[in-house]
């Protein structure tokens, strides 16, 4: 996986190729998705050839061989696309503050210096927390430019009363969250009640105001890939800025066949409306190699523009430690112990 004219940064020991997607519009200049009226005919006409999707997904990890400086470059790119996340029942303010410190400096300084990237301002894309810790994260990230994302609407099941879900969104935005990760009611998809799903996501979008909305589909709990494609389209029509695979709490989370279906729904929506929608695979992505597979899929299916944090995110935390280990291996030729790269 290569890109046109990479920016080469030379250090005493390495030439480090950091990819800059060619022709990409500057971040922040894309118009926000306003949504569109629900088109039930388009939703019901969605078709997915499961065997073809699974065959295509199986080739993604084998078709690309990314080595040496290019691999290090794409791994650094992956870090800048991460929503660094803690969504545990034992979260504390101290853990969130440590996570935010890691978000500001996700790679050890000595590694960045060895790569010649000490001035590249490598930071994660966002920090994702429960509503109770939004204020803590906003305070800890003050001045960094890193936004806080809050999981809302009764995460992870999304079965709390509707008014409570709307109130939770409003409270997170009031506390400073710039992104809201909502969960849809999966029953609307499983019963084919597309109008109810559309109305729900539209209401969540309105409650978000200026904050961007990521719609979590909970794909591991949907019946078919066809349902994944249909739910993706309805969420985008309702005004979602991102569509996201999973909460990370399902038995099956982010997998490449689901990612392909969702990426192609994004492409269809772009061709139909002209608006760019972001994509976020989340849950179960733990290894550096997996991040390369997802980046390859996005580049192939949607193009270089979707390799920017305004259109692509990883919902991950443990993956960061493995990426740091791979970067240290590139610099020193040796793998280091995981405790040398603490998360928080």
Neighbouring residues of 295: CB distance < 8 A, sequence distance ≥ 6:
1, 74, 77, 78, 307
Angle, helices 256-273/288-301, rounded to nearest 10 degrees: 30
Residue of 135, 214, 233, 244 marked catalytic: 244
Residue of 241, 280, 293, 310 marked catalytic: 280
Please answer whether residues 93 and 138 qualify as being in contact, where contact means their C-beta atoms are separated by less than 8 angstroms: no
The partner residues of 242 in beta bridges, in order of sequence, read 214, 278
The partner residues of 9 in beta bridges, in order of sequence, read 16
Neighbouring residues of 23: CB distance < 8 A, sequence distance ≥ 6:
304, 305
Please answer whether residues 141 and 97 qualify as being in contact, where contact means their C-beta atoms are separated by less than 8 angstroms: no
Q: What is the CA radius of gyration of the chain?
A: 19
| Secondary structure in 3-state letters for 163-218 | HHHHHHHHHHHHCCCCEEEEECCHHHHHCCCHHHHHHHHHHHHHHHCCCEEEEECC
Closest CA relative to residue 164, chosen from 182, 190, 191, 187? 182
CB-CB neighbours of 25 under 10 Å: 12
Let me know if 280 is a catalytic residue. yes
DSSP 8-class letter at 307: G
Closest CA relative to residue 197, chosen from 164, 243, 151? 243
Let me know if 244 is a catalytic residue. yes
Please answer whether residues 132 and 162 qualify as being in contact, where contact means their C-beta atoms are separated by less than 8 angstroms: no
Where would I find the H helices in 116-161?
A: 134-140
Let me know if 181 is a catalytic residue. yes
Residue of 83, 181, 227, 293 marked catalytic: 181
Catalytic residue positions? 181, 244, 280
């Amino acid at each position: 996986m290569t890109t046109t004219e990479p920016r080469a940064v030379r250090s005493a020991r390495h030439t480090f190729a950091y990819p800059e997607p060619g022709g990409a519009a500057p971040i922040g200049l894309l118009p926000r998705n306003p949504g569109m009226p629900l088109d039930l005919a388009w939703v019901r006409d969605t078709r997915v050839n499961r065997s073809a999707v699974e065959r295509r997904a199986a080739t993604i990890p084998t078709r690309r061989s990314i080595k040496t400086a290019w691999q290090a470059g794409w791994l650094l790119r992956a870090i800048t696309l991460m929503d660094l996340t803690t969504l545990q029942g034992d979260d504390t303010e101290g853990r969130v503050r440590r996570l935010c410190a890691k978000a500001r400096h996700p790679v050890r300084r000595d590694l960045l210096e060895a790569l010649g990237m000490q001035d590249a301002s490598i930071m994660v894309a966002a920090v994702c927390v429960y509503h109770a810790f939004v204020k803590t994260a906003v305070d800890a990230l003050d001045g960094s430019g890193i936004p806080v994302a809050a999981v809302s609407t009764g995460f992870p099941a999304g079965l709390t009363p509707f008014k409570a879900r709307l109130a939770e969104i409003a409270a997170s935005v009031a506390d400073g969250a710039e992104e809201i990760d909502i969960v849809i009611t999966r029953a609307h998809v499983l019963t084919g009640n597309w109008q109810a799903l559309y109305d729900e996501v539209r209401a969540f979008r309105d409650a978000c105001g200026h904050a961007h909305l990521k719609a979590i589909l909970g794909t591991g709990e949907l019946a078919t890939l066809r349902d994944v494609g249909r739910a993706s389209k309805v969420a985008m029509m309702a005004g979602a800025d991102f569509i996201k695979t999973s909460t990370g709490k399902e038995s099956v989370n982010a997998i490449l066949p689901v990612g392909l279906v969702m990426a192609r729904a994004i492409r269809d929506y772009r061709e139909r409306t002209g608006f760019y929608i972001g994509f976020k695979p989340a849950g179960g992505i733990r290894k550096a190699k997996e991040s390369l597979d997802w980046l390859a899929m996005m580049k192939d299916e949607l193009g270089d523009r979707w390799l920017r944090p305004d259109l692509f995110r990883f919902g991950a935390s443990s993956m960061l430690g493995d990426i740091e280990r791979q970067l240290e291996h590139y610099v020193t030729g040796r793998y280091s112990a995981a405790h040398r790269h603490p998360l928080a």
